Structure 1
């Protein structure tokens, strides 16, 4: 690894996506040289166009299922569709992105002796029997269901990361991301926050799956990126996995009510059947993150984060009208 100055060359795969674009923005602002990699399946050039004039930012179209030969100091591996609509569109490719992508990025990290972080997911816990979910919980995942391409792909990627750590002494970090929301979410990704906001702004019925009692925790994107950055900069003997999310827990009905109130919408609730293998509860035990990441805790309350996200979608929908 280069030692001649403090500026690092950092690769972000999936860098034009929702989370990746915010991460690229942060790293550029810190003075690092950022190589943003994306195949634009769910990512968008628009998410990073404000960075294109920076001499510290480079955008490359590439699919992580193919090998990559570049020189970098650190790698953030975020490449993979993360919403059911997108990852179920081509489930075989979703698994390839998680597994082949991990193999290719780990191989690159091994060759150039880079530190590498894997963006894993709370989906590795499946429909949990333990609540809230600590990192020690092995999960309850259906290996052959419609969500398995994502759930098991991410679980296999974690396996690969820890095998490279044990076998090759690679410097790894693994974060398990819980529901995150904020500006630059894809408006049609089918995730609950974007769904509710877009439906409310358009005056459409808000679709609730099941009776709405199922719960999620919602972490604003700025808090997530802060935790991810801190994780990459922990001592080498800290590998994770570490849960990154907001321990505040809300039902789908509570979320819908907040969105309707904040948008001033007259939308009504419409209940639909619960999707296969949809978890009834999802909430992180975030005690390890607080202990290992310098006292990290989410700072943005749900109401404030929703206001910022609503403003983003309101402007986006206005441009498209």
Structure 2
């Protein structure tokens, strides 16, 4: 055994240049990478990539062709708007909206959460109607000093409507996007008894600051006092008696504007200021001492129409729907104001009495009484600023809007008694 091993150790062997346990096969250099790709699933990914690339190459020309055919349905400007929609302007607070641009087709506008102070009143209730119809959630805050539940009762049961009995002279905690601050008695009979301008405005501005809400103040043409400039423009500072019988309202609203601008400049609150001129329409208080409601109620009751002074003092009268449109445009716009919101059509008190006679009773008498203290002699708004920046102007003429107010007053004054008496 040992000799055999010795023999094999010394047996001459032929050595090749390179060691290989198996003979070299030339086709293995081709097969080996393919087999590796198959084992590691590399080929699957390569094929997938090729298919995806081919798919996108096939799609691109057809989509460019479709873009050309869009011109049949859209203008170039509309296409630009679709391809590059306006970016929404976000404000800190409970919610946010885009203040400009259109809502893309198929997408609904996001409803806002809005508080309307004085929302059960004459103007406030009409504003609530418009906001609810637009799809917003509305919280009405009212102490019912001059407001009335009947004005908003048709919204009871609507999940987007809330009613809070509250006086704005006390603080209020809410989470809202916008605040329409209308809570303030607007007729001499009421504001002399309960002036709430300053404290109520201060509380609502504090709420707007805390929650980041946009705040709209409904100021008044009374900030011009007995004006020495006619018509009145927003840059006119007014001629107000600071200690007169009307000063609690006139100076209160002037102070409210001051507070709003201070919160805007000092605390960054987004504010809007509207100076409202004489407004009339359905749901107006029947016996609030304002001239239109006085004349209409007196004519319906067959009483003399009371004209104070010589009847030559002038006023401008806008229908409530025009005012609500102006308030909403101001709130949604990007301009602070103040803005005059009124109808530049000017009437003397005698002319107004004659229009009421024509509408209700041609035989109604006119009775003259001494004029009240600090009664402005002329009142007419210059609405150039509202036309240019808000695209707003009143649409309803006095002779067109007055019959709608008369119909509402007739129903509220006589009610069912009118129907029963006529049938009897």
Q: Give the TM-score normalised by structure 2.
A: 0.73
Contact 2:113–2:176 (8 Å) recurs in 1 = yes
Equivalent residue, structure 2, for 1:250: 347
Equivalent residue, structure 2, for 1:311: 407
More displaced stretch, 120-129 vs 52-61: 52-61
Equivalent residue, structure 1, for 2:255: 156
Deviation of the 1:136 alpha carbon: 0.1
Deviation of the 1:267 alpha carbon: 1.6
Separation in 1 of the partners of 2:96 and 2:393?
32
Q: How does 1:114-125 map to 2 (within 5 A)?
A: 114-125=213-224
Q: If each structure's helix is expressed as a fraction of its own residues, which one has the higher value?
A: 2
Contact 2:308–2:369 (8 Å) recurs in 1 = yes
Contact 2:111–2:136 (8 Å) recurs in 1 = yes
Separation in 1 of the partners of 2:96 and 2:314?
47
Equivalent residue, structure 2, for 1:287: 384
Q: In the alignment, is residue 136 of structure 1 matched against residue 240 of structure 2? A: no
Contact 1:208–1:252 (8 Å) recurs in 2 = yes
Deviation of the 1:54 alpha carbon: 1.4
Separation in 1 of the partners of 2:190 and 2:402?
23
**Count of matched residue positions in the alignment of Structure 1 and Structure 2:** 313
Separation in 1 of the partners of 2:410 and 2:231?
34
Separation in 1 of the partners of 2:314 and 2:186?
19
Partner of 2:162: helix, strand, or coil?
Answer: strand
Partner of 1:175: helix, strand, or coil?
Answer: strand
Equivalent residue, structure 2, for 1:219: 318
Aligned CA-pair RMSD: 1.1
Deviation of the 1:292 alpha carbon: 1.1
Partner of 1:58: helix, strand, or coil?
Answer: strand
Separation in 2 of the partners of 1:218 and 1:167?
36
Deviation of the 1:53 alpha carbon: 2.2
Separation in 2 of the partners of 1:55 and 1:255?
42
1:62 to 146, 152, 166: 166
Equivalent residue, structure 2, for 1:201: 300
Partner of 1:11: helix, strand, or coil?
Answer: strand
Q: In the alignment, is residue 23 of structure 1 matched against residue 110 of structure 2? A: no
The higher relative CO (CA closer than 8 Å, separation ≥ 6) is in: 1
Select the structure of larger CA radius of gyration.
2
Gaps of 5+ in 2: 1-92, 98-108, 418-424
Gaps of 5+ in 1: none
Separation in 1 of the partners of 2:416 and 2:144?
20
How big is each residue's C-alpha offset from its partner over 1:7-53, in whole Å with a ceiling of 9 and x where there is no partner?
10000000000000000111000000000000000000011111112
Equivalent residue, structure 2, for 1:179: 278
Partner of 1:100: helix, strand, or coil?
Answer: helix
Q: Give the TM-score normalised by structure 1.
A: 0.96
Specify whether residues 211 and 48 from structure 1 end up closer, same or farther in structure 2 by C-alpha distance, changes over 3 A only. same
Equivalent residue, structure 1, for 2:200: 101
Specify whether residues 201 and 308 from structure 1 end up closer, same or farther in structure 2 by C-alpha distance, changes over 3 A only. same
